[in-house]
Structure 1
Amino acid sequence: MLVAAAVCPAPPLLVPAVAAGAAAELDALRGDCRRALAAVAAAGPDRLVVVGAGAAAVTHHGRGAAGSFRGFGIPLTVRLPAAGPGGGTADAGPTAEPLPAPSAVAAWLLADAGWDAAPVTAVSVPDDLPAASCLELGRELAAGSARTALLVVGSGSHCRTLKAPGYLDERGEPFDDSVARSLAAADHEALAALDRELAAAVGADGAAPWQVLAGAAGRRESTAPLGGALLHHTAPYGVGYLVAAWS
């Protein structure tokens, strides 16, 4: 059962070593990611699953799975927390595949927040995983009696300004605003109905992970609904950065 979720963006610039001289510019964003993870920890989950895009196929990563920022010129390796409270050992899990960049950023966020509330695994999905498959994966993750929490990582439009990575697309800001409203209201039905063609056009790599969250939250229809809080909604580099907590 899904008991909580944190939604965070996944730009490598969140990692100070990657951001270098611009590290301080994202301090507020990092702080809001910590707040979202604190809200998830307060829900008392039995397990946390990181959900991010960037994989060629749906890939499950076990406890202690590693990712690297060498592709960004930084010799930094990060790992999913190997154990929750009470210690334990790392579990390489179903695959030894390295974490894609979004999930590596998530691993850094968890370390930055000092996460030790529950064991952590990850699922990486293709950017173009169909909505129906995303929703089904979310339902699978939330199945059973375990108190499950998600850390969903991905960014909004990368077309918010002329200097943005995707140049300017006037559809980008309204798209991000609609996602922000859905996250603020914990509206899983609105996330499930996201226009994936538009999401791809404006470069929103969070679309597939958000729809996995929608599928997981949809299983709660017979129980008390989750409440949402939007903690961050900016586009400092022409890319939409959204942080939310559901609990």
Structure 2
Amino acid sequence: MIVRAAVVPYPPLLVPELVVADLPEVRSVRRTCVAAAKLLAQGSRRWIAVAPGFGEVAADSVGTFQGFGVDVRVRLNPDTEGDLDPGLPLPVLIAAWLREQAHALRVSVHLVAPDASSAECRALAASIANETDDPVGLLVLGDGSPRHGDRAPSRPDERAPGFDETVHKALADADTEALLALDQQLAAELGAEGRAPWQVLAGLGGEWNCVKSDLLVPYGVAYHVAVWDPVLP
């Protein structure tokens, strides 16, 4: 039973050890994401995460940010002694890092292909909803478009602001239909790999209240942060 959901991005800049200059924009993104993770942990300290990617992630995975410059190690479950997997995807590493920051007990990760259709996202949502009867928090990891303005790491695209404003409004309104209506092709062209994980969240159905919602666009990349609570009957 999902008792709370949190949407966060997964940039390496969240991890202080990976940042050369800890600028105000960086601290703002980190503070906002950690606050959302702590709110999620208040709902439940056991999490299920959804992130863009392929394949499966072992529940006892141990990862490292060595590929991003520093050997900061993180665990999905601190009670296990899994072998170090140097190839864990960045969203999985961030899920494990946020678990530690929020003092959650453990997080299991489902990867959803960035090009998954809305129907496939709904199917994964149904599977997650039936995964456990225990109270769990849902951590949804996804970045917006990296094509905002002159500071963008990818070629700027004038469609990026409108797309991410649509996502922000849908998250702020807890509007599942608006999230499910996001254009898959447009999201792909804009490099917004959060589209599929957001649609998994929306595919859970039901009514939700948005507890908090933020859109931050430092360095030309859109980062969405939101916390939803289900409306109980």
Normalised to the residue count of structure 1, the TM-score between the two structures is: 0.83
- Could you tell me which residue of structure 1 aligns to residue 128 of structure 2? 141
Q: Distance in 2 between matches of 1:193 and 1:6?
A: 20
Contact 1:61/1:99 (8 A) holds in 2: no
Matched, 1:104 2:93: yes
> In structure 2, the residue corresponding to 1:213 is in which secondary structure?
helix
- Could you tell me which residue of structure 1 aligns to residue 223 of structure 2? 241
Q: Deviations over 1:17-63 (max 9, x none)?
A: 22222365321222222221232223246x311111132x3x2431x
1:127 aligned to which of 83, 103, 114: 114
1:78 aligned to which of 66, 74, 77: 74
Contact 1:66/1:98 (8 A) holds in 2: no
- Could you tell me which residue of structure 2 aligns to residue 175 of structure 1? 163
- Could you tell me which residue of structure 2 aligns to residue 61 of structure 1? 58
Q: Distance in 2 between matches of 1:188 and 1:91?
A: 38
Moved more, 174-183 or 157-166: 157-166
Matches within 5 A, 1:1-247: 1-22=1-22, 24-44=24-44, 47-55=46-54, 57=55, 59-62=56-59, 64-82=60-78, 89-90=79-80, 98-116=87-105, 119-143=106-130, 145-216=133-204, 218=205, 221=206, 225-247=207-229
* Amino-acid identity (%): 40
- Could you tell me which residue of structure 2 aligns to residue 86 of structure 1? none
> In structure 2, the residue corresponding to 1:34 is in which secondary structure?
helix
Q: Deviations over 1:177-221 (max 9, x none)?
A: 1111111111122112211111111111111111111122x1xx3
Q: Distance in 2 between matches of 1:80 and 1:187?
A: 30
What is the CA RMSD across the aligned residues, in angstroms? 2.1
Q: How many residues align?
A: 226
Decide whether aligned partners of structure 1 residues 91 and 77 sit closer, same or farther in structure 2, where only a CA change above 3 A counts: closer
> In structure 1, the residue corresponding to 2:18 is in which secondary structure?
helix
> In structure 1, the residue corresponding to 2:96 is in which secondary structure?
helix
Q: Distance in 2 between matches of 1:61 and 1:130?
A: 24
Normalised to the residue count of structure 2, the TM-score between the two structures is: 0.88
Return the offset for 1:67.
2.3
1:231 aligned partner, one-letter code: S
Contact 1:50/1:122 (8 A) holds in 2: yes
Contact 1:234/1:241 (8 A) holds in 2: yes
- Could you tell me which residue of structure 2 aligns to residue 85 of structure 1? none
Q: Distance in 1 between matches of 2:81 and 2:123?
A: 25
Return the offset for 1:98.
4.8
Q: Distance in 2 between matches of 1:137 and 1:23?
A: 38
- Structure 1 residue runs of 5 or longer lacking an equivalent are 83-88
1:106 aligned partner, one-letter code: A
Contact 2:211/2:228 (8 A) holds in 1: yes
Decide whether aligned partners of structure 1 residues 154 and 129 sit closer, same or farther in structure 2, where only a CA change above 3 A counts: same
Moved more, 170-179 or 21-30: 21-30
1:90 aligned partner, one-letter code: T
